[in-house]
Amino acid sequence: MQYLILNLKFWFIGNIKKYFPILNQYIRSTTSIITINHENDTVYKETVRYLEFRVVENEIYWLKKLSDFEHTPNIIDHNKNKITLSYAGEPLTSKNLPIDWEKQIEKILDKLNEINCSHNDIKPTDLLMLNNKIMLIDFQWASNVNQSLSTNLPKSIGGIYKSKNGFNDRYSIYKSIHFIQFGN
């Protein structure tokens, strides 16, 4: 049943994008199926789209570089298209946004800069809250800072949270926080 619903979603989104191409920059079909196991605090992420862009290997690479960082999940296990991660929390909302959110966001941005990482796709759904800590997830589209990116990447990466001047994690994360706080 889960796959039937997912296939219907892909069909529906695909047809909307086909007949209304202006929406392509705002709508991206699901890349992964996420299953949360609260009993053992793990997340199973099965990538079902964009495997040709090596998104699983890319996410593993960056999460390994961030393995000692308290604001990202840790890899527990992985294979060709599945990653098992430590639980990273609930969606960040205006109600659970910590008082020191700016300090935490700057710490996240500093760490990305330290390891020369550009996330490239920060949006509100990539910001979670775990034990009063903001967690950044979903490094599938990350790259080295200033790395030339393929011209055939999905146009929707970054979506409405991407700067008009290209990928800019600082811009995207603060625009995401603004959306979380104020809804616009």
Q: Where are the domains of the chain?
A: 1-30, 31-182
Can you list the positions of beta strands (E) in 72-111? Answer: 75-78, 82-86, 90-91
Q: To the nearest whole percent, how much of the chain has pLDDT over 70?
A: 83
The three-state secondary structure class of 163 is strand
- Is 37 in contact with 43 (CB distance < 8 Å)? yes
DSSP letters, 126-139, are: GEEEETTEEEE---
Give 86-116 pLDDT, tens digit per residue: 999 999 999 999 999 999 999 999 999 999 9
pTM recorded for the entire structure: 0.84
Give 48-98 pLDDT, tens digit per residue: 989 999 999 999 999 999 999 999 999 999 999 999 999 999 999 999 999
In terms of Cα–Cα distance, which of 51, 54, 172 is closest to 118?
A: 172
CA atoms within 13 A on the CB side of 109: 14
pLDDT beyond 90 at 39: yes
The CA distance from 143 to 126, in Å, is 16
Per mean pLDDT, which range of 27-31, 64-68, 87-91, 162-166 is the poorest? 27-31
pLDDT at 53: 92
Instruction: Place domain 31-182 in its CATH homologous superfamily.
Output: Transferase(Phosphotransferase) domain 1 (1.10.510.10)
The CA distance from 101 to 58, in Å, is 27
